[in-house]
Amino acid sequence: MCGIVARIGEGDDAVDELLAGLTNLEYRGYDSAGIAVQNGCGVGVRKRAGGIDDLRNALATDGPSGSVGIGHTRWSTHGPPTDANAHPHTDCDGDVAVVHNGIIENYDELRRTLSKAGHAFESDTDTEVIPHLIESALADGASPAAAFRAAVDRIEGSYAVAAVIGGREAVYAARNDSPLVVGEGESAQYLGSDVPAFLEFTERVAYLEDGDVVRVTPGGFTVTDADGERVQRTTETVDWDPQDTGKGGYDHYMLKEINEQPTALGRSVSGRTDPDAGAIDLDGFPPGTFEGIERVHLVAMGTSYHAAMYAESLLARRDVPARAFMASEYAMSPPPEEDGTLVIAISQSGETADTIGAVRAARAERTMVVTNVVGSSLTRECDDTLLVRAGPEIGVAATKSFSSQVATLSLLAERIRRDVVGSPSPDSRAFLSALSDLPDHVRRVVEGTAAEEVADAFTDSEAYFFIGRGPGHAVALEGALKFKEITYEHAEGFTAAELKHGPLALVTEDTPVFAVFNGSEGDTETLGNVKEIRARGGPVIAVASGDAPDLGDAVDRVLPVPATHPDLVGVLANVQLQLVAYHAAKRRGRSIDKPRNLAKSVTV
């Protein structure tokens, strides 16, 4: 989960565009960064441990220039984040420079063979074998394109890799199980791990397939597939606004993306439902699509797993047997094959390796992905794709993608119910109407929140607990994940009932507990659990709608959300918890958009 960018043009210097691309990709990894620029005869490389600003500072005093170059921002897998381990990596003579995202599984063996042949290595990375493989093929007389292909043919594992070779006005690249897209500009061509890498320069994009090898020159690009056959990859225009990938005046992407939720939800739902007619119109999933489905397996990781848990509750309420699985566990031991199993992968990025692994391992009749990223790897792995349309999410902490996932999955759950059970769920019109109101309800939460005050009131606590039931349990886990991820404080989520089976032993006056009320059945029991916490001195902050039972003085504070359909209260409650986490992290001075040790896409 590193970020790759390349710029291949004429005349103008590539360095500024490479740095702009790396800045847009920094969410993918931020341990170290580097660039290599082809200047007509040789290759100039600069790389630094640290963020893009450290690299920018280094380049300000002593930078190479040239019109063709590659860049990389790293999330370490092999070796610590040092200058030496930063990409690009070079061959013995410094004539070949390579950036890579992924893992080379046979690097140990390749490194031994290359070392025996006299190649000298300078880093701990798996990547470094690639420039030496290219060097060795060039020495055997291969052309640059053939040498690159020969190197790619010898590596095993997952990779998006790009190389520059001294004296060649071209970038050579390949992908296998790691994302890589081509950007077709007017005066220059681009490569990126993701579209935001070059979105400010071009909106024309071609998605590469696994096994593709591409040669990009200032005038265009040519692709050969895994068999070496020339293939066409169609170019399409993406409708993302480059402004969407900036901070838009907010201090952090996370806060911007929390505030964008009304718009994102509007996009997720718009045109997909007609509440007055009680109709659902999911692009590509007309009525009858899910006839014959007997059970649903939802597979995902992290925040997307919490959306999967939420959807499990929604499907269960609609009499559709469903189970959420952590994708990594599903991949290791997929349930036995049974007729009528639909596997739904949920992934913001569409690139999460564990989730891809689950889909590949699935013994299912059909697979589909619910994702935010058009053309991502999971859209290729699965039979069908349903887009959540949240727009680009840059902050490492997933926020608007969760809300949009739940909204999209709630519509999907109702579509599945109608096909499987043969009738709409009893309160489906009320649900569809509440879904249309959801963007406005989220706006009211964001504008009226007291989350900052709550975050400030509990700055010195020992730990932070989150409880809930049904969809509220998914929200409790998500609230805890968001809190720990960006504050670095100990935070844990539980089902409300679970507390007295063990975790209650941890509750003291220094452990605030956030209790999610669903505005429905189960709230009375949650109130009982809250009283048990208060009886042990634990402060309680309720996140509740007007439909929750009278909380009286059973809680210390309330973060209110508008009354709505019980299926959707959790989305509103989650927005309050996102804001609590954000303000708690800000008060602690944390690196909110790029929390330590993490990266946005976990592609390894």
Residues designated catalytic: 2, 600
Nearest to 72 by CA among 45, 37, 104, 32: 32
Minimum CB distance to ligand M6R smaller for 45 or for 602: 602
* DSSP, residue by residue, 517-571: --SSTTHHHHHHHHHHHHHTT--EEEEEETTSPP-TTSSSEEEEE----HHHHHH
CB of 206 to ligand M6R, least distance (A): 22
Count of CB atoms situated within 10 Å of the CB of 109? 12
The structure tokens listed for 236 are: 């399409």
Minimum CB distance to ligand M6R smaller for 67 or for 304: 304
Q: What residue number has its CB nearest to ligand M6R?
A: 302
Count of CB atoms situated within 10 Å of the CB of 490? 15
Rule CB under 6 A: which residues touch ligand M6R?
301-304, 347-349, 352, 355, 396-398, 481, 485, 601-602
As a whole number of Å, the CA-based R_g of the chain is 25
The answer to whether residues 452 and 291 touch, using CB atoms and an 8 Å cutoff, is no
- Cα separation, 400 vs 439, in Å, equals 11
Nearest to 139 by CA among 97, 93, 108: 93
CB of 480 to ligand M6R, least distance (A): 11
CB of 345 to ligand M6R, least distance (A): 8
Does residue 173 sit in helix, strand or coil? strand
Minimum CB distance to ligand M6R smaller for 372 or for 518: 372
Minimum CB distance to ligand M6R smaller for 214 or for 398: 398
CB of 391 to ligand M6R, least distance (A): 14
- Cα separation, 381 vs 377, in Å, equals 6
Minimum CB distance to ligand M6R smaller for 273 or for 347: 347
- Cα separation, 433 vs 274, in Å, equals 8
CB of 352 to ligand M6R, least distance (A): 3
Alpha carbon of 5 to those of 73, 163, 262, 356: distances in Å? 9, 11, 32, 23
CB of 486 to ligand M6R, least distance (A): 8
- Torsion angle of C-alpha atoms 496, 502, 503, 507, degrees rounded to 10: 110
